[in-house]
Structure 1
């Protein structure tokens, strides 16, 4: 008799040992709702230490814990799982949020199902709640949901079981112009995000197999009836225990428009370059090899396009003064722009052409290049030289003409731009004036350097500064300008009006 009565007790201990080791929480109650036992998992996921902390019965539980559905609606007293199982209801997979009044640090998400254990007469003997803590899963899903919704990159999620879209973010809606309810629930065949791709059949195969879909170009239908070129890729993911495919997109329209605009710009540049009436060249900045020359260059130099391409000016012996071209190149590299530098160009037949050369650095196909424009001034220089020679002949004896006549001749030769005052000798520094006087005496750069004990480069710098100040670009013009302002062939300088008004210099106190 004693052995027979002890057997059920052993069986209960074994059952409790099995239940106690489960990863799910188990809560047992009598048919009247009294909570009689819970395993360690049940206590832990409720943040308590003893079964008494559950409150003893459904009413006490409701005081200790606040339950809400996932839609944030609070459970009524009769909707609490313990009350429902006490009423004899059997349910499964109820998702609830659990908090404690007065304890803001506790928050859990539980998935609950119920069991009713009966005796031999099918009468309720024990009420069971099986509780699983799914806080981590739902928290991760919430983070994913927030990230997915906030991600500016367009994206949709397609459920693999029926190939219907279950999620869409704002980026996709803005890109296509569709409303959310026009996408959610549609099938991948109704709303085809892989249409227009030459790899569509392979992508559909990967979609059905739940495999990663590599990036490919596609054409999306948009709300206004048009289409949009995109890059689409698919990544298998799980959403709520369901296998899905995450499609992400990159809008190609801005890039296509930029490429089209670039092509139009390049076409316009090419047309303008080819038809320009003045000689033009495009060279690589690093080695100055010609990349292209226009028709006017061919006409002016006699070199055909194929003779010039991939060659540099030195190999063609294009410029008379290699040193001047080297300085020109250095200036372009350092300043990216050069304007109206006078240089002599040698045509294929040996003829020399006087040119004003301007250059600007440009980027063509991501390569730094130099665009050069050549203005042929050979005829103009010949005419100017004849005029300068005539003026110099007249000015050999200025006693024949009044100062006013000389100034009129200078004005005709170098008219002062409207709104500007012509430069005067007083605008030159003493050293610049010395260099100009020696120039008027017929000294070249070497003689000036020897006379003033300067280097030739320094003399060139002074000469360039004089040209810039008085607005000329050649030596003969500078000499005419100087003689117009009172420097004779012997280098004597007539006093300026300012000096005549104040012969002793500025007054001092």
Structure 2
């Protein structure tokens, strides 16, 4: 063996002794890519115990270990790290996933850099690959990637060195309508996530410093035009040993739309409340204090808003009966609404009017309130009472009227007497039914006594019993009761005045 060869072998042994104990993996190869040696760390990173298991050269190594980039693209043979260093390429941070072809369920992630040792004449003498185990780092990055993509909160990540977006999750794409290619690679100046931010100067300063950006409102421009109201915040983080900023967002657009809809709804309610000709009052459900009254209410009662707003219904005393007032609000508290309750309402100056009140529960500015709608029926009640009195008077002698007129009068009277006594025609005895039928024919007590061949006192007793059972107090009322039920329609006799 020549002295040069001996010296060369001695130097290699010394080099192997120096690097054998390093925690980083080291592989040595000839210029022709023949694998010479690997330290224990490099062997462990491949799951083998002897250098022969790595293969004799790059080609055999590629047969035993499949290499992929982190984007899952497989490496061609010429792109294997040993091939690249043999071709004279220098690299310092190549990350690959290494999988044994004999066991695809195992894999490691290596970060590699190259080194070429030269001889005294400067010619390449030995190829060196220095490996570090990045499996744990890659696993953590993969977990972050999955978490980032699965997080429903919209987010993007930009690299601070050039302020370009390098990651975007599905939440951001769904919120904005952008696709991934419209975001990745663009700068924060092109897709400005801080546009119209409340404290944009502070946000820009923090971004340039790589410091936390506090939450603030901003307008996010959309790809199809328009914008979306969001809350944006920035959090610095390290990715692949690069300083980055994670922007996260909260979509405020649904809240803004809800607020606009609520405001428009309240405006429509306010307009209808003011313009409706029906007297209307709004009071708080909690303490029954008057919140608002409309013009129609002021017209009918004589009060003005300053006299009522802020005061409790009970203190105003505009409902004439305290018992009716208590019943109204007790029903509202239990059922939430009231439909057509009769109330006597006291106007300013103590005049009392008859009203029908309907009420419902409404929410105004997040506060439960009662909406009371009133209809003045004073004139109608007065007219009905006068009509009933007139009917009572003229029907004292039904024989003076035609059958048609009697039916119309009976029907008119029934309008003002909607609550019929809870009694049936069959509740009367046969004799009482006969008496009622003759009353409906317009016969007086003496004529009934003659027709039925009964004593006048007996007829009067039967008539009194009929009145009592029917809940009436006059012949006309008894006739109305019978006509309301379609009784004796064919027996009503028409008499002409002699």
CA drift at 1:396:
5.7
CA drift at 1:225:
5.3
After superposition, the C-alpha distances for 1:269-327 in whole angstroms (9 at most, x for unaligned) are 11221222221111111222111111222222222212211222211222222112212
How far apart are the structure 1 equivalents of 2:65 and 2:477? 102
Residue 344 in structure 1 maps to residue 340 in structure 2: no
Equivalent residues in 2 for 1:214-233, closer than 5 Å = 214-224=214-224, 226-233=226-233
1:486 aligns with: 482
How far apart are the structure 1 equivalents of 2:75 and 2:264? 66
Q: What residue ranges of structure 1 are gaps of 5+ in the alignment?
A: 417-421, 435-474, 488-492, 498-509
Cα root mean square deviation, aligned: 4.0
How far apart are the structure 2 equivalents of 1:116 and 1:60? 21
Residue 160 in structure 1 maps to residue 156 in structure 2: no
SS at match of 2:105: strand
How far apart are the structure 1 equivalents of 2:61 and 2:12? 29
Q: What's the TM-score once normalised by structure 2's chain length? A: 0.74
How far apart are the structure 1 equivalents of 2:476 and 2:194? 78
Q: What's the TM-score once normalised by structure 1's chain length? A: 0.73
How far apart are the structure 2 equivalents of 1:102 and 1:168? 36
Q: 1:342 to 1:494 in 2, by over 3 A?
A: closer
SS at match of 2:271: helix
After superposition, the C-alpha distances for 1:136-188 in whole angstroms (9 at most, x for unaligned) are 33344444445545655443332212223333445545655656555444433
2:97 aligns with: 97
CA drift at 1:360:
0.7
Structure number with bigger Rg: 2
Residue 128 in structure 1 maps to residue 128 in structure 2: yes
SS at match of 2:107: strand
Equivalent residues in 2 for 1:193-342, closer than 5 Å = 193-224=193-224, 226-342=226-342
CA drift at 1:365:
0.9
SS at match of 2:245: strand
SS at match of 2:187: coil
How far apart are the structure 1 equivalents of 2:229 and 2:27? 57
Q: What residue ranges of structure 2 are gaps of 5+ in the alignment?
A: 1-5, 429-470, 489-498
Name the count of aligned residue pairs: 437
How far apart are the structure 2 equivalents of 1:135 and 1:211? 29
Q: 1:176 to 1:90 in 2, by over 3 A?
A: closer
How far apart are the structure 2 equivalents of 1:85 and 1:282? 86
Q: 1:320 to 1:409 in 2, by over 3 A?
A: same
Q: 1:395 to 1:51 in 2, by over 3 A?
A: farther
8 Å contact 1:359–1:370 — kept in the other structure?
Answer: yes
8 Å contact 2:391–2:413 — kept in the other structure?
Answer: no
